[in-house]
């Protein structure tokens, strides 16, 4: 059975697809592996509200009992959210999707997993918090998010890579994968909790219409790589770069001492960051998730309204 036929759309999402309304995909690992309950479900709802505020329809993607749901219901999000921190929901990247479907299990989608399913569903815009990348001190531990960006043509709106990672190495891999990295209102790659990293983006663009023109140009060229739009965390909620780095270095050192590596490291480090910053990293995380959802919706709306005659005249 083709994977496309395994997609089940919410009534609202299906109606939007049929009528040409802008849609923004949202991941579900933020519900199961990113934040504790009930912050996880509350944040997922805030992200959907931000998408609506920006003029688009939200489609949170997840897997319930072996069925891919494009547009999780509130009850389905709560079902996944109550299992946060447990092993009952598989965190799904490319390699995991067939396992969960075959076994009829529950799954939450990572950046890579959401990209795959959003593309199959015909959804161009995808909002998330921070992408995965190269792990500090482990240069061969590279998130599948980066390779997925080299082969799946969607537009990912994030606040850069999670700053617990090796950002310079991550930036190099993005370049190798042929991913166009845009700074939305910034000349530097954001550093997730902090607004800048000192690393350059490929181009600064300040308006949704400019991003829409870029997306249309990528499509016209037939490129299979993603577009990464990086948005700084709102200034009022940002962490000081030095403070964030000190907390990250301590958390990373503690993870090394405890032997925490691989897929388990990112959720552990994010939880430890919340403790070390007295909750300020959690507030920054929630703020950037909401803001990225709003920006993605504005881009999706601009793309839906973009005239084909403007493609190479922008």
Hey, which residues are catalytic here? 27, 162
- Omega before 38 cis (within 30°)? yes
Residue 202 CA to residue 239 CA, distance in Å, equals 24
């Amino acid at each position: 059975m083709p994977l496309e036929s395994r997609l089940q759309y919410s009534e609202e999402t299906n109606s939007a697809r049929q009528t040409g309304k802008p849609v923004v995909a949202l991941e579900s690992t933020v519900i199961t592996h990113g934040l504790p309950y009930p912050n996880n479900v509350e944040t997922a709802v805030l992200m959907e509200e931000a998408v609506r505020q920006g003029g688009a329809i939200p489609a949170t993607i997840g897997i319930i009992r072996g069925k891919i749901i494009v547009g999780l219901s509130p009850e389905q999000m709560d079902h996944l959210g109550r299992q946060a921190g447990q092993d009952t929901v598989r965190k799904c990247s490319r390699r995991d999707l067939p396992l969960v479907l075959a076994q009829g299990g529950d799954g939450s989608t990572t950046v890579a997993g959401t990209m795959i399913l959003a593309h199959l569903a015909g959804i161009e815009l995808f909002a998330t918090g921070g992408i995965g990348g190269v792990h500090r001190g482990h240069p061969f531990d590279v998130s599948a998010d980066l390779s997925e960006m080299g082969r799946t043509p969607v537009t990912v709106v994030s606040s850069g890579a999670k700053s617990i990672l090796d950002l310079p190495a991550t930036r190099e891999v993005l370049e190798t994968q042929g991913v166009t990295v845009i700074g939305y209102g910034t000349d530097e790659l954001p550093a997730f909790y902090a607004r800048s990293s000192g690393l350059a983006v490929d181009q600064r663009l300040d308006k949704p219409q400019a991003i829409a023109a870029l997306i249309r140009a990528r499509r016209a060229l037939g490129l299979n790589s993603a577009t990464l739009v990086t948005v700084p965390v709102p200034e009022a909620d940002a962490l000081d770069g030095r403070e964030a780095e000190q907390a990250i270095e301590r958390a990373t050192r503690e993870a090394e001492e405890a032997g925490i590596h691989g897929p388990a490291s990112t959720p552990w480090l994010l939880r430890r960051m919340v403790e070390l910053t007295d909750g300020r990293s959690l507030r920054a995380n929630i703020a950037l998730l909401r803001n990225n959802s709003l920006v993605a919706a504005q881009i999706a709306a601009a793309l839906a309204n973009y005239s084909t005659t403007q493609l190479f005249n922008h």
